[in-house]
Structure 1
């Protein structure tokens, strides 16, 4: 549905759809060669654990933990994803590297994983890599300078760190408020040429029900609550892509209309963050 409607990017992960997501997405990619794709490494799909153990990419305890970013597993999963997708991934995100990771260990964890991903780039297994996080930035486990430092250490000035993915919505407004002041993750990413993928823009479908008539009038009175909420995220400074998930054609069409619409002014965004807080 997305590809037919003109979307040029699909984001997936090997642990989505009970471990079948990459194989299912591959059927779309085969039909729509213009669509680019990103996937992830970190969470360990249950159906793959025996194969992982058999090939020595993880120990039994590591596999049972459900999440791992060791170089051996990163290399194994990258190769597995390439086969499942039927093409070279445009981006491979480290999936929630903050998972069970104290801040003081973040640098070394990122460096080791980035080094494996840089080698994958050199070997032609992937085109680039990034970090997809839910709370890594908000908890202070890492920031853009930390990521850039690890990438430079792993790949030098020609490193392949290209993107970050994080939740942005009317529920997760802090990064947008910070960006309006020229600081924080969005501003730092933009300054470094790092693309920002906004995830969960409707917070699992909860946001539209939170939009009151007064808030809608403040954001975009001529739009639906979902469209208004999406326009806030799409208008945030530095945001390159907004990741949408829907099974209904009418929801997709509504979202596309919002994202193709006019960008909200910085003044409007500032009023929204002032009213709602962060």
Structure 2
């Protein structure tokens, strides 16, 4: 991110009503316009958590993010550039029942309309472009997705600073901050199932997320660095189970193991392998790649991959 730009995030919120797709528009009070829900990044936030927070604040609906559908850029009156990231975001029936929108000084109303009507009602061309990207997902039949998230453990103490075994190396002070900072964005993608290498640095990376979800972390030695170094790791078995489950999953592992995890995701979904897998697996400590797969047909290939890194 550059200091001269203003960053924001939001989403194309969607639901199916009587077998018909609807998207959510907001009518803003001050500007008297029609747009998509979005808002500026708060200090310390990562973009994904900004998107879900702003969607909830503006519409009362809690969502989990799906596929990234584009970035809009435009100039503010101050001459600064505003850069807005958008994701597709399903509003489930449960989320709708739990929502409670009340018109306020910022948002006068929210409205569910067909994508076709939304394209004609949006006030700004940049929003139309984002919605057109969303419609392409619909046309390709890959709107409803679930994520498998490959997470590299947060920063650990250096080997030379630790007298115990490598598997018991703890997180460094910076690593602990990283583990805390990625909870919000991982929750934003709907993380539910938590699987980790049994190494201490991986388990401690997952601890804040586990606490936030109230869910236990499942240890799996098949994605540990020890198993990888001994030639007995088995990312294929782990990935196969997760793809078949169609559940949002976080897999916390190690730098040397991550290429195998991404490669097996490509194989399990019939996706052609390429350099993009190397980029998605070359993660810094605490970073993660979100691999979006089709709920209806996981074997149809990887829909999209995006990578996020902590700010600390």
Please say whether Structure 1 and Structure 2 have the same fold, judged by a TM-score greater than 0.5. no
Q: TM-score, normalising length from structure 1?
A: 0.29
Q: Which has the higher helix share?
A: 1
Which protein has the larger Cα radius of gyration, Structure 1 or Structure 2?
2
Q: Which has the higher strand share?
A: 2
TM-score, reference length from structure 2: 0.27
Higher relative contact order (CA 8 A, sep 6+): 2
